[in-house]
Every structure is written in C-alpha cells, then in structure tokens.
Amino acid sequence: MDCSLAVAVRNTLAISVRLPSIMTRRVIFDTNSKHHQPHQEERFEDSKAIRHDLSRLGQAAFKSKNALVASQISYRSHHSEQLKDSYENLLVSTYPIATNEEGGSGEGNQVALMQLNRPKALNALSDAVLDDVLHAAGVLDHDPKIRCLVLTGSKKAFAAGADISEMQSRTFEEAYGSDMFGHWQNLSQLKKPLIAAVSGFCLGGGCEVAMMCDMIVCSESAKFGQPEINLGVIAGGGGTQRLTRMIGKSKSMYMHLTGEFIDAEEAYASGLVAKVFSDDELIEETLKIAKKIGSKGVLSVQAAKEAVNAAEELPLGEGLRLERRLFHSLFATEDQKEGMKAFLEKRPAKLS
C-alpha cells in the first residue's frame, strides 16, 4: 500500500480516537406536570464503543485492497507528472486552437479530449477507470497549453454507471472507511473548464460524473438517469445534490424514487444540458465549443467558472460580493487592458 495513504489513514484514525466523549440529549416528559411540559436532561456518555467503531473503520480503510482514497492523495501531485503513454480505460487526444482573425489564444494552445474506453462494460466506472480519468485530468489541468477539457464516452454509452461487480461485496466498513466515491469529487475541482459530451446511456455514476463537469452537451440519443434505487441503494457520487440543484426538487425526486430515465429533449428543457446535437456531430460541435472557450483569456475564464460554481453554494449577497471582487481583480490583468482597448478601436482582441 502507498506510504502516503498509510500516513493519511493513521492521522485520520489518530484524530478520531482522541474524541473525548459524545454528548447526547434525551427529552423527558414530566407526567406530574399539569401541562406536561418537556425538559431536557443533558448527560455525557462514555465513547469507548464509538472509538472502537472508528478504529475498526480506519483499519478497514487501511487494509482495503482497492485503496480508493489513494486517488485523493496522489491527485495533488499530478501537476509534476506527464500523461501516460497509454491508459487502460481512457483515450486522450489534443486539438490545436488556431489563432484566427477574431484574435484569441496564442499559438500552440490546445483543447483535450478524454474518451472513456471500456466498451464491453458500457464504460462502467470501475476504480481503474476513475483512476485513469483523474490522473489524465489532473495532468491536463496543470498543462499551460491546455485551455479546455472534454470528457466523452462512446455513441452507445457515456457511462452506464458505477461498476456494480466491484461494489456488490463491499462491506460498510470498506465503503465508509475508504470514503467510497469521495475521490470522484476531484473532477469538480479542476481550474480549467470541463465539458461532458454525452451520447447514449448516462446513468447512475455516469450521470453524476457528467454533472461534475462545468457543462453538459449531448446527442439526440442521450438517456439520463439515477436508477440506484433499483439496486437497493441511492446515488452516492452527488446525484441527489447536483441533480436537484440543476433540474429542481420535484423532477429530481421523481428520477431518484422511480429510477426512470429522461431523454435528450427533456434534459434540455430541464436545464440539465446546454446543447443537443446529432450523434454524428456531437464531438465535432463540442470541440468547437471547447476551442471557443479556450480562445478567451485564461484568468477571466477561470474567474467566470469560479463565480458561477459558487452560485450553487453561496447566499445571494455573498455570491454577489465574490463576483464583484473577481471582476475588480481582473482589472489587474493585461487581458482587461487589451480587451477594452480593442473594443474601442473596433478590432479583435489578442487575449492571453
């Protein structure tokens, strides 16, 4: 097992077992009182049993063959790594962003296409698949020449869900102790824009990964769903939270409780996807979007992404304040000077 993982688990366990005690409250009704008014009795209970459970969970994570949390730790070092010559479950290609008459990014800048490549399993998201995606995304995110990323699958399936064959035999200790699916969230922490190009089935974990991206575009054959309820579980990679924020409580609840899918037309009408293309045009049109984004100023794109993503979590007042501060900060950049000057001179801006 990776030494860094061992240290992280030990540290986590050490913090957990030092918990002094757990305070519990119990409500007692005084039946002798005329109005039966409740009062609270506070007491502290010994936490030996809780400490024992935490210790057991930590040991399970430490001994886990899959070591799912290793991805969280190793992800941080990807900026110093290179793309692998090949990935077992992923194809990576890059496309140049040509500097044209409209100005835009400098010579040599590119967009990257990551294609899930596990066709026999409809791109089911095994640990190995996610490790490949997170590694490649981490490296590309730190490559100054890469301006935008696209994640796609095959025409038949973007990803049909998490790999059930890997999950079926896992125990609670293994799932909780390793924070199963926790490392998936690294995909939503990229600084550069990430577009999901969806065709065919986009279900369960596949739908959750797509929603971690900054925008979703899809083909006419796309089918979205969170059918985990049919397996005796619920979504565990963000489905209940992100889908609700994107399409609203009622429709999200319907999808989670019934396990039914929605098609591309309904996904577009619900606001889940930004654009719908034909199956044959999906990748070409998505790359056009990626190149257009990649031709803009690096810092303004990063600031816009940060501000929009913050809208999902911040109260309106705090979000507006963050937006203004980011807006103000861009007046320290050369792109702001060039962009506004070019506008006044009625010429294309030459942005970074």
User: Splitting the chain (352 residues) into consecutive groups of 10 residues, what average pLDDT does each group show?
Assistant: 42 40 38 45 48 53 44 47 93 86 66 97 95 96 97 97 92 92 92 98 97 98 98 96 97 98 98 97 98 96 97 96 98 96 95 90
Q: Which of 204, 228, 267, 297 is catalytic?
A: 228
Whether the model pTM is above 0.85: no
| CA dist., res. 170 & res. 178, Å (int) | 11
pLDDT, residue 80, reads 54
pLDDT, residue 141, reads 97
228 in catalytic set? yes
DSSP 86-111: --SSEEEEEEE---BTTB-SPTT-EE
Q: Which of 104, 205, 236, 239 is catalytic?
A: 205
Q: pLDDT for 124-151, tens place per residue? A: 999 999 999 999 999 999 999 999 999 9
205 in catalytic set? yes
pLDDT, residue 352, reads 87
Question: Sign of the CA dihedral 212, 217, 218, 222?
Answer: positive
Please report how many Cα atoms fall inside a 13 Å half-sphere around the Cα of residue 107, on the Cβ side: 0
